Structure 1
């Protein structure tokens, strides 16, 4: 291993060092927050890819631009039923759910 490779820190190592091991309160909060952020980022990316504004997506789904913005920016949590409605009716896609044990 070269000297530069020994200085590389993986994301997992960084999170362990700064937020604790998996299962600790601070690490669980980080991971849960990331999941919420990820959903908003995925919705944003899909909306942009479809060429829709937040307002256009909101109209298709029957909600407000403000609500879509809050979900995309991780200000508001989204219910699974609402997420399905946004993805299916608004974006013409489908939600796939996976549980890892």
Structure 2
């Protein structure tokens, strides 16, 4: 019986790191994780979607969309959500000749 690592399986099923399919897979995974973190943090703080929405000035439906598909969220809304959840927000962009950090 041959044993396969998770990296091997991912490379075979999705594509090697740096390929367009793998890049999309990694991006989608990160977006899903953001939505899951928002939902879990909200629940841990005993907030309903409606209550979180009121804190940042949006409808309950938008919070639901964020939690289930954070792909269409603006950076401004994301910062508002995490600020309302009392989370420290830190973004970092690294390019070959540039490094930008943002803390909120």
- What is the TM-score of this pair, normalised by structure 2? 0.80
Given the alignment, which residue of 77, 88, 95 partners 2:72?
77
CA contact (8 A) 2:66 2:73 kept: yes
Write the deviation string for residues 68-99 of structure 1: whole angstroms up to 9, x where unpaired.
Answer: 111110164212211111111x2122212234
Runs of 4+ in 1 over 3 A off after TM superposition: 98-101
Label 1:11 to 1:99 Cα distance change in 2 as closer, same or farther (>3 A).
Answer: farther
Note if 1:65 corresponds to 2:51.
no
TM-score (ref. length: structure 1): 0.82
Instruction: State how 1:31-70 maps to structure 2 within 5 Å.
Output: 31-70=26-65
1:36-92: per-residue Cα shift (whole Å, max 9, x none)? 10110111111011110111100111001111111110164212211111111x212
The structure carrying a bigger strand percent of its residues is 2
CA RMSD of aligned residues (A): 1.8
How far residue 30 of structure 1 moved from its aligned partner, in angstroms, is 0.4
More helix by share: 1
